[in-house]
């Protein structure tokens, strides 16, 4: 059932200072055009935005600002295959989460708009060669757009969609109906146990002449099984997107092993790719846009130091994996420790993730 929304906008729930900060950081109100329950725990939301739809790529996600009691929380939701003017997301209610998904489930009926930023694509769908998609639960969301792109391009592809129960798998019936059982395998663990995902990929890839790319999103154990099990495979590469925290849907922690290449550098490695020895960080000074300064001690992140100084910032994962805290560098160089920006973006020194990255040297000026 589709319900058109009327009522007060969600942005009215943010206080003025938070709202100013969110707008300054690139968030904007986008009208909610429809909501519907896709399963008992999954809420489908349509946002009307012609402008943002134009920037969508398969696997991209939106950042959504949620007004929780202790301040704005930023949550990441992958974009489903949508229409020409609609951004479509699906929100799983996390019963043991930190409140973001629960707020959306309980309050969206009174919202006419949401504050969003993006879309942003950190998954890395490339569109070349055979593709094997492996989704676990709500991890199906970014893959639906990739599958639509693969099907439209006539790409050779298959989907293995794993879930506990059929009724909790929001898109199972629609995907089978649209693409057929020869393209889509639904695996219900409650009925038949866990799948051997590595063997499934190997079997499928073994009859392809070109190398296969596996795109996977879902629970971490599922993705790690694929990454480790296929690590030495000569003609299969794996690209994954993590569910980092219980309350955030796919946070874009991209992990990729190119064919014949090395594993990606750790999110906690330094800009040079070498891990930083524990206890060797040094203090430095952050200069803000208004000329004021904040000391960052050796045992403190930039975000922590700013917070102690009363400077508001946005963050979500605080692990350098989601991109929410990305901040423009006005002067100086960053010691990058995130896994969001590419090696080229690290080298360009235009922005940094202030939840994990530090300054090279004694001072850095940031657009805060
Ligand atoms: S808060 Fe997620 S990258 Fe900094």
Rounded distance from Cα 124 to ligand 1 centre (Å): 19
The residue to mutate among 61, 71, 118, 323, having the most atoms of ligand 1 within 8 angstroms of its beta carbon, is 323
348, pLDDT greater than 90 = yes
Which of 72-76, 249-253, 293-297, 345-349 is the least confident region?
249-253
Of 358 and 270, which is predicted with more confidence? 358
Q: Taking the CA of residue 278 as centre, how many other CA atoms within 13 Å lie in the half-sphere pointing to its CB?
A: 0
Going by pLDDT thresholds of 50, 70 and 90, the confidence category of residue 199 is very high
Percent of the chain with pLDDT over 70: 86
**What is the Å distance from ligand 1's center to 63 Cα?**
12
Distance 120 CA to ligand 1 centre (A): 14
Q: 362 CA to middle of ligand 1, Å? A: 23
The best mutation among 25, 244, 325, 339 to test binding of ligand 1, ranked by most ligand atoms within 8 Å of the C-beta, falls on 325
Average pLDDT over residues 232-246: 80
All structural domains of the chain = 10-120 (2.40.30.10), 131-257 (3.40.50.80), 284-366 (3.10.20.30)
Report the pLDDT value the prediction gives residue 272, as an integer from 0 to 100: 41
37-90 pLDDT, tens digit each? 999 999 999 999 877 677 789 999 999 999 888 788 889 999 996 677 889 999
Examine the pLDDT at 4 and tell me if it is beyond 60. Answer: no
Distance 286 CA to ligand 1 centre (A): 18
Average pLDDT score over residue span 253-267: 37
Which of 355, 357, 366 has most ligand 1 atoms within 8 Å of CB, for mutation?
Answer: 355
The whole-number pLDDT of residue 9 equals: 54
Whether 215 and 58 have beta carbons less than 8 Å apart is answered as: no
pLDDT band at 276 (very low <50, low <70, confident <90, very high): low
Residue 180 CB partners (closer than 8 Å, separation 6+): none
- 192 C-alpha vs ligand 1 centroid, how far in Å? 38
**pTM for this prediction:** 0.79
* Atom 3 of ligand 1: nearest residue by CA position: 320
Cα(181)–Cα(326) distance, integer angstroms: 42
- What span, in angstroms and rounded, lies between the C-alpha atoms of 167 and 181? 18
Residue 34: both structure tokens together: 């429809």
Q: Which residues contact ligand 1 via a Cβ below 6 A?
A: 315-318, 320-325, 338, 340, 353, 355
> Looking at ligand 1, which atom is closest to the CA of residue 323?
3
Taking the centre of ligand 1 as the mean of its atom positions, its distance from the CA of residue 148, in whole angstroms, is 29
Distance CA 86, CA 150 (A): 20
Say yes or no to pLDDT of 323 above 50.
yes
> Ligand 1 pocket test: which of 307, 315, 327 has the largest number of ligand atoms within 8 Å of its C-beta?
315
The yes-or-no verdict on residue 163 having pLDDT over 70 is yes
109: phi then psi, degrees, rounded to nearest 5 = -65, -20
Question: How far apart (Å, rounded) are the C-alpha atoms in residues 140 and 160?
Answer: 10
Give the residue, out of 247, 353, 368, with the most ligand 1 atoms within 8 A of its beta carbon, to mutate for a pocket test. 353
Alpha-carbon torsion angle 237, 77, 142, 351, nearest 10: -40
Distance 356 CA to ligand 1 centre (A): 8
pLDDT of residue 239: 95
| Ligand 1 atom, smallest distance to 315 CA | 1
109 Cα: distance to centroid of ligand 1 (angstroms): 29
Torsion of CA 131, 217, 252, 106, to 10 degrees: 140
Residue 33 in this model has a pLDDT that exceeds 80: yes
Distance 311 CA to ligand 1 centre (A): 16
Q: Tell me: the pLDDT tens digits for 101-129? A: 999 999 988 888 999 998 988 888 998 89
Q: Does residue 268 have a pLDDT over 60?
A: no
Asked whether residue 284 carries a pLDDT value surpassing 90, the answer given is: yes
Average pLDDT over residues 240-264: 46
Mean pLDDT for the chain? 85
Kindly report the backbone phi and psi dihedral angles of residue 54, in degrees, each rounded to the nearest multiple of 5, phi listed first.
-60, -25
Task: Give bridge partners of residue 42 from the DSSP assignment.
Answer: 92
């Amino acid at each position: 059932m589709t319900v058109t929304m009327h009522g007060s906008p969600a942005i009215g729930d943010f206080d003025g200072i938070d709202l100013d900060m969110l707008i300054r950081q690139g968030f904007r109100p986008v009208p909610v055009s429809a909501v519907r329950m896709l399963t008992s725990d999954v809420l489908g939301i349509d946002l009307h935005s012609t402008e943002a739809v134009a920037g969508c790529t398969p696997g991209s996600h939106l950042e959504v600002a949620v007004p929780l009691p202790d301040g704005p929380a930023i949550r990441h939701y992958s974009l489903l295959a949508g229409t020409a003017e609609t951004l479509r997301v699906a929100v799983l209610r996390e019963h043991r989460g930190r409140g973001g998904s629960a707020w959306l489930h309980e309050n969206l009926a009174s919202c006419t708009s949401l504050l969003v930023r993006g879309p942003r694509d950190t998954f890395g769908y490339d569109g070349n060669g055979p593709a094997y998609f492996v989704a676990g639960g709500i991890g199906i969301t970014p893959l639906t757009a990739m599958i639509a792109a693969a099907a439209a391009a006539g790409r050779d592809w298959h989907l293995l969609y794993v879930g506990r129960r059929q009724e909790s798998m929001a898109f199972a019936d629609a995907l089978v109906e649209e693409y057929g059982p020869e393209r889509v395998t639904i695996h219900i663990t409650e009925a038949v146990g866990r799948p051997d995902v590595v063997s499934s990929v190997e079997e499928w890839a073994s009859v392809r002449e070109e190398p296969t790319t596996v795109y996977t999103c879902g629970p971490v154990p599922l993705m790690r099984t694929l990454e480790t099990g296929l690590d030495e495979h000569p003609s299969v590469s794996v690209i994954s997107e993590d569910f980092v925290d219980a309350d955030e849907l796919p946070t874009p922690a991209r992990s990729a092993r190119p064919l014949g290449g090395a594993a990606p550098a750790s999110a906690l490695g330094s800009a040079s790719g070498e891990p930083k020895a524990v206890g060797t960080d040094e203090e430095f000074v952050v200069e803000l846009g208004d000329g004021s300064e904040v000391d960052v001690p050796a045992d403190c992140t930039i975000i922590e130091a700013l917070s102690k100084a009363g400077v508001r910032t946005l963050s979500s994962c605080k692990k350098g994996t989601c991109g929410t805290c990305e901040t423009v560098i006005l002067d100086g160089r960053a010691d990058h420790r995130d896994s969001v920006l590419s090696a080229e973006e690290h080298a360009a020194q235009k922005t940094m993730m202030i939840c994990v990255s530090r300054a090279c040297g004694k001072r850095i000026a940031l657009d805060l």
